[in-house]
Structure 1
Amino acid sequence: MELKGKTEFKQPVEVIWNALHDPEILKEIIPGCKELKLVSENEYEVSMKLGVAAVKGEYSGKVKLEEKEKYHYYIFNAEGSGSPGHVNAKMDCKLYPTENGCVLEWDCNAEIGGMIASVGSRVLSGIAKFMAGKFFKDVEKVSLKNTVTN
């Protein structure tokens, strides 16, 4: 499955970049995240509880941030498995400053297998795009909230 998207933020690149690399923020915004544990500088173990259509379950896996060019680019790799199936995803993320904040463009390739794949590619594609959009919009909400409280 291939997905692409773009999210515009009202905050500068540095704020969004830092939020996307903050374990506490990631734990709050990753859909269904129950636990996020830093295992090395750029690698996390994650456990999640998600439901896609009628297929619900718990997953465990790893998230790794690679090939980082601070404030501009990184690759988000995720792999996970659970009773409903497995997923391996690679997402290229590019950040650009704008007059009013910044833009994040993302391009994702994901391999999905097991019972969850039976939901169908159109449904999965729509759900995945919705979840990715929500994830990136939540980055801004949570980072704004943290800016106000700090």
Structure 2
Amino acid sequence: MKMSDTREIAAPPAAVYAALLDADTLKACVPGATEVTGNAADGFEATVVQKVGPVKATFKGKVALSDMTENEALTISGEGKGGAAGFAKGGAEVRLAPSDTGTTLSYDVEAKVGGKLAQLGSRIIDGFAKKMADQFFSNLQDHLEGPADPATEDADAAPEAEKKGWLGRITGKS
């Protein structure tokens, strides 16, 4: 299956590119990653725990970076084995371009699965793969842009506090 998307990230292309080469950043951004070791030159080894439909598996695999053009593009290729659950492999061509707000990141992803995972059906697998790619790039964006504005979070928390106060007044508990 193949998918493509574009994202605006409020960080310069150099920062986005550097983040894609950093094991700690990858561990923070890959959904379900419990371990990511290695470096961009030699490749990374990763352990990822995921549940796809009724199948939960721990995938151990390798990730390699190639076709690297500093601050502009790179290709990420990976393959992991999940024991009886099967295997997953794929890659992403990532392109970075400067924009008015920071960086326009666009990607084309291709993924394949085998074993029990392949028996789940293409609709479940395609949906899961799209969700994983979206979540990775959302996590990368959040990692680079920092946490949400605290003023916004406080405003969101205030209505909840008012609800508790209102409920407390009705029940006579504070």
**TM-score, normalised to structure 2's length?**
0.78
> What is the correspondence of 1:45-60 to structure 2 with a 5 Å cutoff?
45-60=45-60
| Pair member with larger Rg | 2
* Structure 1 equivalent of residue 67 of structure 2: 67
Is 1:87 equivalent to 2:91 in the alignment? Answer: no
Rounded to whole Å, the distance in 2 between the matches of 1:70 and 1:55 is 38
Q: State the aligned residue count.
A: 146
Q: Tell me the amino acid that sits aligned with residue 28 of structure 2.
A: E
Give the C-alpha shift of residue 90 in structure 1.
Answer: 1.9
Give the C-alpha shift of residue 97 in structure 1.
Answer: 1.0
* Structure 2 equivalent of residue 26 of structure 1: 26
Q: Partner of 1:88: helix, strand, or coil? A: strand
Answer with 122-131 or 75-84: which moved more: 122-131
Between the two structures, name the one with larger relative contact order (CA 8 Å, sep ≥ 6). Answer: 1
Give the C-alpha shift of residue 13 in structure 1.
Answer: 1.1
**TM-score, normalised to structure 1's length?**
0.90
Structure 1: state its 5+ residue gaps.
none
1:18-67 Cα shifts (integer Å, max 9, x gaps) = 11111111111111111111066240111111101111111101001111
Q: Tell me the amino acid that sits aligned with residue 5 of structure 1.
A: D
Rounded to whole Å, the distance in 1 between the matches of 2:145 and 2:100 is 18
Check 1:103–1:114 CA distance in 2 against 1; reply closer, same or farther (3 A cut). Answer: same
* Structure 2 equivalent of residue 129 of structure 1: 130
Root-mean-square deviation over aligned CA pairs:
1.6
Is 1:144 equivalent to 2:148 in the alignment? Answer: no
Answer with 32-41 or 95-104: which moved more: 32-41
Sequence identity percentage: 29
Rounded to whole Å, the distance in 2 between the matches of 1:57 and 1:88 is 14
Give the C-alpha shift of residue 68 in structure 1.
Answer: 0.2
Rounded to whole Å, the distance in 1 between the matches of 2:34 and 2:25 is 13
Contact 2:76 2:93 in 1 (8 A): yes
Rounded to whole Å, the distance in 2 between the matches of 1:122 and 1:5 is 19
Rounded to whole Å, the distance in 2 between the matches of 1:138 and 1:34 is 15
Q: Which structure: greater strand fraction?
A: 1
Give the C-alpha shift of residue 142 in structure 1.
Answer: 1.5
1:56-94 Cα shifts (integer Å, max 9, x gaps) = 111101001111001111100001111211112021111
* Structure 1 equivalent of residue 114 of structure 2: 113
Rounded to whole Å, the distance in 2 between the matches of 1:110 and 1:133 is 14
